[in-house]
């Protein structure tokens, strides 16, 4: 259509194709989107239900968030079809201008880098617990060198995570995403079953708090929900890899993915909270006995789940670095395979660099649990703020009825304001805890 070209000159100039021939099926898109959201946040939901003051307040917060979460995904698909871009940062830059695009790239790199580090820390913790179970040793004696987290996590990163992260297209992740989703479902099932069977050897609170301590405690769980449901960074790449890219079809994929994700998160949050009440740990697996075989299996499978979601975060972070490489290095002289950002040499170099940096940070930085709120706050940009800005800019270049245009612009403004509030609240709260 000529509308977008007249409304914003150059908007569709030199679009970056997602793939020569998109091959991702609808079911594959559902699983990748679902697995992008089912990450380390699954462990925090029972604690978030406790912080919110019980099941009812937490459910209300989750349902309100779900409206914005689904809306953000649909907006991103719409914005991708309007802009002709193949990446999240490309869509934001194409619709909202280069300044907002550069801000998006900076937030993208910081958020995905910290998420990748958090994933590796979670995997390392699970490996350490498994080593303690499989290779018990007396307290004075140190564990064997091959059970040390620095060795096991490095070996896992080199032999498993790096090969999984090497493929060029995100559509390849549909196979590992199915495995990771099943692993996350097993964890939720274990928590539900343990509630009815009763964890052995535990004395826990039998009457969980049913009222929030204050209204601010209800809002404090928004960052945890953002951290848990953040799949929006992958939305554009998944949408552009689909065979059927109609907006109605993308909306159906988004709704199915987030409803399934909400079901798994809700079961984990409700039954984990009801089992331990006010004594629930921020990591729900830490609340269970360390020698319970069922929990050990759940711990191992959850590690598998995180291993399968790490490559998705790496793919998205690598796409930002490839865009930077394309702008900076493609004019350099030399063989095309050495300067093409999607070529095997550049892609391999960026993949190894990402894994090496995040592994070093995961092994040598102090505990990252204090900055989960900051990660959730930054993710509000991708769930609320940037989609809202894209919607406002997109309706300005499309021929839309005035009444519909006004409603869409109002929704875009509301989304930006909600995201700004969540980012400010979570950042201030995390800063107060750090200092």
pLDDT at 379 over 70: yes
What distance in Å separates the CA atoms of residue 277 and residue 275, rounded to the nearest whole number? 6
Contacts of 99 (CB under 8 A, 6+ apart): none
pLDDT score, position 354: 92
If one compares 355 and 365, the residue with the highest pLDDT of the two is: 355
> Bridge-partner residues for 242, per DSSP?
24
Number of domains in the chain: 1
- Alpha carbon distance 277, 273 (integer Å): 5
Q: What's the domain range around 118?
A: 3-12+21-434
What average pLDDT score do residues 358-362 get? 89
What pLDDT was estimated at residue 374?
A: 65
Q: Which residue has the higher pLDDT, 38 or 153?
A: 153
Q: Which residue has the higher pLDDT, 208 or 109?
A: 109
CA distances from residue 236 to 159, 310, 337 in whole angstroms, order as listed: 29, 18, 26
Structure tokens at 100: 């907002």
Average pLDDT over every residue of 406-433: 82
* Element containing residue 253 per DSSP (H, E): helix 247-276
CB 73 within 8 A of CB 254: yes
Q: Is the model's pLDDT at 75 over the cut of 90? A: yes
Q: What is the pLDDT of residue 409?
A: 92
Rounded CA-CA distance 185/198 in Å is 19
Instruction: Return the pLDDT at 2.
Output: 35
Q: What is the CATH number of the domain that holds 141?
A: 1.20.1740
Q: Which residues pair with 319 in a beta bridge?
A: none
Count of Cβ atoms closer than 10 Å to residue 7 Cβ = 16
Phi-psi sector, 137: left (phi>0), alpha (psi -120 to 50), beta:
beta
Confidence of residue 215 (pLDDT cuts 50, 70, 90): low
Burial letters for 387-401: b for 16+ Cβ neighbours within 10 Å, e otherwise? Answer: bbbbbbbbbebeebe
SS3 (DSSP) at 24 = strand
Q: What percent of the chain has pLDDT over 90?
A: 16
Which of 188-192, 297-301, 420-424 shows the highest mean pLDDT? 188-192
Mean pLDDT of the region 136-151: 71
Number of other residues whose CB lies within 10 A of the CB of residue 289: 11
Section 259-265 average pLDDT: 91
Q: Which two structure tokens, joined as six digits, stand for 111?
A: 């958020």
What average pLDDT does the segment 233-257 reach?
Answer: 90
Reduced to 3 states, what is the DSSP secondary structure of residue 314? helix
342 falls in which pLDDT band (50, 70, 90)?
A: low
Q: Measure the CA–CA gap between 117 and 164, rounded to whole angstroms.
A: 17
386 or 316: which carries more pLDDT confidence? 386
Position 298 pLDDT exceeds 60: yes
Output the average pLDDT for the chain. Answer: 79
| pLDDT surpassing 90 at residue 12 | no
How far does Cα 401 stand from its chain's mean position?
A: 35
The secondary element (H helix, E strand) that includes residue 131 is: helix 98-134
For residue 391, what is the enclosing H or E element? Answer: helix 386-397
pLDDT of residue 18 exceeding 70, the answer is: no
Range name among 29-33, 69-73, 261-265, 352-356 with the lowest pLDDT average: 29-33
- The secondary structure of 278-289 as a DSSP string is GG--SSGGGGS-
Q: What is the CA radius of gyration of the chain?
A: 22
Say how many C-beta atoms besides its own lie within 10 A of residue 364's C-beta: 8
3-class state of residue 148 by DSSP: coil
The answer on pLDDT for 367 being more than 50 is: yes
- The CA distance from 265 to 347, in Å, is 34
Other CB atoms within a 10 A radius of the CB of residue 183 amount to 21
Strand partners, 24: 242
The yes-or-no verdict on residue 376 having pLDDT over 60 is yes
User: What would the mean pLDDT of 118-135 be, rounded to a whole number?
Assistant: 80
- The answer to whether the beta carbons of residues 344 and 167 sit under 8 Å apart is no
Whole-number Å distance between alpha carbons of 129 and 145: 15
DSSP 55-76: HHHHHHHHHHHHHHHHHHHHHH
Per-residue pLDDT at 301 = 85
Q: Looking at the predicted structure, is the pLDDT value of residue 339 above 70?
A: no
Two tokens, residue 89: 């940062």
Q: What is the mean pLDDT of residues 192-210?
A: 64
- Residue bearing the bigger pLDDT, 302 or 17: 302
Higher pLDDT, 281 or 109: 109
Alpha carbon 352 to chain centroid distance? Answer: 21
Give 236 or 343, the one with higher predicted confidence: 236
Total-model pTM:
0.80
Q: How far is CA 211 from CA 50, 53, 208, in A?
A: 9, 5, 9
What pLDDT is stored for residue 70 in this prediction? 92
User: Which of 80-84, 131-135, 216-220 has the least mean pLDDT?
Assistant: 216-220
């Amino acid at each position: 259509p000529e509308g977008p070209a007249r409304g914003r000159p150059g908007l569709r100039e030199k679009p970056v194709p997602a793939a020569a021939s998109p091959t991702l099926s609808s079911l594959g898109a559902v699983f990748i989107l679902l697995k992008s959201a089912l990450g380390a946040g699954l462990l925090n939901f029972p604690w978030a239900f406790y912080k919110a003051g019980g099941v009812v307040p937490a459910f209300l917060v989750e349902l309100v968030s779900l409206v914005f979460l689904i809306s953000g995904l649909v907006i991103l698909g719409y914005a991708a079809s309007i802009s002709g871009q193949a990446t999240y940062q490309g869509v934001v830059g194409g619709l909202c201008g280069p300044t907002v695009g550069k801000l998006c790239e900076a937030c993208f790199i910081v958020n995905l880098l910290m998420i990748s580090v958090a994933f590796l820390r979670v995997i390392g913790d699970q490996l350490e617990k498994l080593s303690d179970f499989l290779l018990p040793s007396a307290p004075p004696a140190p564990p064997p060198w091959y059970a040390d987290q620095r060795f096991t996590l490095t070996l896992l990163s080199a032999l498993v995570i790096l090969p999984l992260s090497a493929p060029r297209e995100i559509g390849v992740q549909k196979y590992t995403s199915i495995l990771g989703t099943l692993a996350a479902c097993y964890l939720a099932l274990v928590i539900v079953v343990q509630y009815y069977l009763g964890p052995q050897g535990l004395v826990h609170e039998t009457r969980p708090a049913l009222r929030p301590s204050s209204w601010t405690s209800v809002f404090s769980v928004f960052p945890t929900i953002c951290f848990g449901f953040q799949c929006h960074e992958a939305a554009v790449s998944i949408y552009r890899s689909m065979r059927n890219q109609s907006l109605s079809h993308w909306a159906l994929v988004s709704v199915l993915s987030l409803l399934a994700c909400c079901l798994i998160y809700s079961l984990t949050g409700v039954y984990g909270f009801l089992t331990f009440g006010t004594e629930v740990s921020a990591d729900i697996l830490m609340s269970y006995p360390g020698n319970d075989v069922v929990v050990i299996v759940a711990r191992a499978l959850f590690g598998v789940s995180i291993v399968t979601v790490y490559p998705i975060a790496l793919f998205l972070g690598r796409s930002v670095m490839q865009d930077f490489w394309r702008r900076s290095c493609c004019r350099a002289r030399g063989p095309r395979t050495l300067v093409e950002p999607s070529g095997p040499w550049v892609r391999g170099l960026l993949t190894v660099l990402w894994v090496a940096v995040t592994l070093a940070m995961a092994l040598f930085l102090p505990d990252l649990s204090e900055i989960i709120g900051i990660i959730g706050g930054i993710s509000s940009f991708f769930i609320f703020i940037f989609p809202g800005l894209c919607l406002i800019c997109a309706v300005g270049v499309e021929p839309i009825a005035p009444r519909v245009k006004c409603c869409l612009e109002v929704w875009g403004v509301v989304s930006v304001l909600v995201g700004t509030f969540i980012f400010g609240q979570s950042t201030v709260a995390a800063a107060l805890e750090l200092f």
